[in-house]
Structure 1
Amino acid sequence: NVDLETVTRLVRHELRDVPLRPDPAPLTVLYEDEHVLAVDKPPGVMTYPAHRLRGGSVVNRAVHHLRGVTRDGSGGGAGFGFGAATEPIAVHRLDLETSGVLMLAKDKPSASALQGAFERREARKTYLAVCAILEDAANASDESDDDFDFERHRPG
């Protein structure tokens, strides 16, 4: 008789070997070399899928891009010769509704180096917010973006 916890652990272990599903949804690549891929994560798209067997995440889109799979399912698409057994690793996360640059490593040593840089604060993230003005334009300040001193208000 096998208990549920043991079965759950075994299933989770086996699922780790199931490759992530490539997702042909659009992926905006901002930078790519043999170690890293920087992409524009749109709002409303998860960084990682909720489950390995599902798609719908930036990482699934990156798998599709890196494996060189074209929309018709054949090879020869974009990517730097990424093997089917290798998966991109997000070195930081962006919330579901947050858009911005997402850094993906193409191998474990690159992921470790990049994650370390973020932990040691050698890599810097800057967040900008777009705010809707809810008050009447007549009551708004005369200060424009051109007059705003971003450096003076920069954190830390």
Structure 2
Amino acid sequence: MTAYKAAMSREVKTLYVAEAEDGIRLDRWFRRRWPHLSHVQVQKMARSGQIRVDGSRAKPEDRLTAGAAVRVPPIPDPVEKTPGERPTLSDRDVAYARSLVLFEDDMVIALNKPAGLAVQGGTKTTKHVDRLLSAWGEGLERPRLVHRLDRDTSGVLLLGKGPEAAKRLAGAFARRQAKKTYWAIVMGAPSRGPGRSDLALKKSGINDFEIMRPADPKEHGAEPAETAFATISRAAHRASWMALRPFTGRTHQLRAHMKAMGHPILGDPKYGDEASNELSGPLKLQLHARRIELDHPGGGKLIVEAPLSPEMKAGFAHFGFSEDEAEQDPFAGVKRIR
């Protein structure tokens, strides 16, 4: 069994949510400050009542408001690997993890996450990106996740090397400073745009049956969501290749917004309908995190693009799309409403 040396401060603190953090999820707020915490650790602290917001229990997915008082329980220090300890990953796993690298320097790693690989583990998920990060070491050497992609979405996934780099990258995502461009193939022929959807979304169901549905912004539990969209190419009126830019980071936001617009993303078993499922045929989810642009934590700009996944290549081949049809940035000059 792997053994680690860990220390923990016994001090309970009360910290206040900054104005720039208004609307951030509770779990992301914690991991922005303590990047070494796992998602499971934050969940356990919240569900056991150790974390409280303005004196009340809170769920990991709850949104925080500026000025809220957060009770912070004792936080475990980053673990350090015991000298001489055997690696937790096989040589094959290490090689696989490193084969996913698109870009790496002393502060940032950009991975090309394949479709089907979860970002974080769960009760039935043992192979995931978070586990593979041990390929770079443990303790302070272990990279930190700073954002997420759905299991079946392929493309660019950024990691921070060290607590400070991770904190800066996570802060950029929390403040919505990262420009994310997704490519998707959807049913039908949406307007060419660029346009926006600002339909609020509300989560319903649990676990594998969890889904985001349109909601009135005043409805309890509804979350504001904003997506910019632009059509790059069309296959007659059957399907369209689109660029999507989320200005907010709600669960399944792009998939739910396109479904609500009447143009579900093809290959989507959760948000598709009978017509889109028939058009999709054997195609897997046609959603790909193509590009991320944001400030590099060490200065300057960081721009990373991920090549098409095998799943998206199959969709492009089926409908006759070609990558050279795309503009460098179809959202040039487009800004979020909020």
Mark the CA change 1:39 to 1:152 in structure 2 (over 3 Å): closer, same or farther: closer
Q: 1:60 to 1:152 in 2, by over 3 A?
A: closer
Q: Is the 8 A contact 2:149 2:157 kept in 1?
A: yes
Secondary structure in structure 1 of the residue aligned to 2:148? coil
SS of residue matched to 1:40: strand
**What is the alpha-carbon distance in structure 1 between the residues aligned to residue 159 and residue 183 of structure 2?**
21
Q: Would the aligned equivalents of 1:43 and 1:97 in 2 still touch at CA under 8 Å?
A: yes
TM-score normalised over the length of structure 1: 0.58
Which residue type is aligned with residue 22 of structure 1? Answer: L
Q: 1:111 to 1:130 in 2, by over 3 A?
A: same
Please identify, of 145-154 and 29-38, the stretch whose mean Cα deviation from structure 2 is larger.
Answer: 145-154
| Partner Cα separation in structure 1 for residue 152 and residue 105 of structure 2 | 27
Q: Residue 129 of structure 2: which of 51, 58, 64 is its match?
A: 58
Counterpart for residue 159 of structure 2? 104
1:140 aligns with 2:236: yes
More strand by share: 2
Higher relative contact order (CA 8 A, sep 6+): 1
Q: Contact 1:40/1:102 (CA < 8 Å) preserved in 2?
A: yes
| Residue 115 of structure 2 is aligned to residue 43 of structure 1 | yes
The 8 Å contact of residues 119 and 129 in structure 2, kept in 1 or not, is answered as yes
Instruction: Count residues with an aligned counterpart.
Output: 121
AA partner of residue 93 (structure 1): R
Counterpart check, 1:125 vs 2:180: yes
3-state SS of paired residue (2:122): coil
Where do residues 13-28 of structure 1 align in structure 2 (5 Å cutoff)? Answer: 21-22=88-89, 24=93, 26-27=96-97, 28=100
In structure 1, the partner of 2:205 is none
* Identity between Structure 1 and Structure 2 (%): 31
RMSD, aligned CA: 4.0
Aligned to 1:88: 143
* Equivalent-residue separation in structure 2 for 1:32 and 1:47 (angstroms): 18
Shift of the 98–155 alpha-carbon distance from structure 1 to 2, 3 Å rule, reads farther
Q: Relative to structure 1, is the Cα distance of residues 41 and 148 closer, same or farther in structure 2, using a 3 angstrom cutoff?
A: closer
Aligned equivalents of 1:118, 1:30: Cα separation in 2: 19
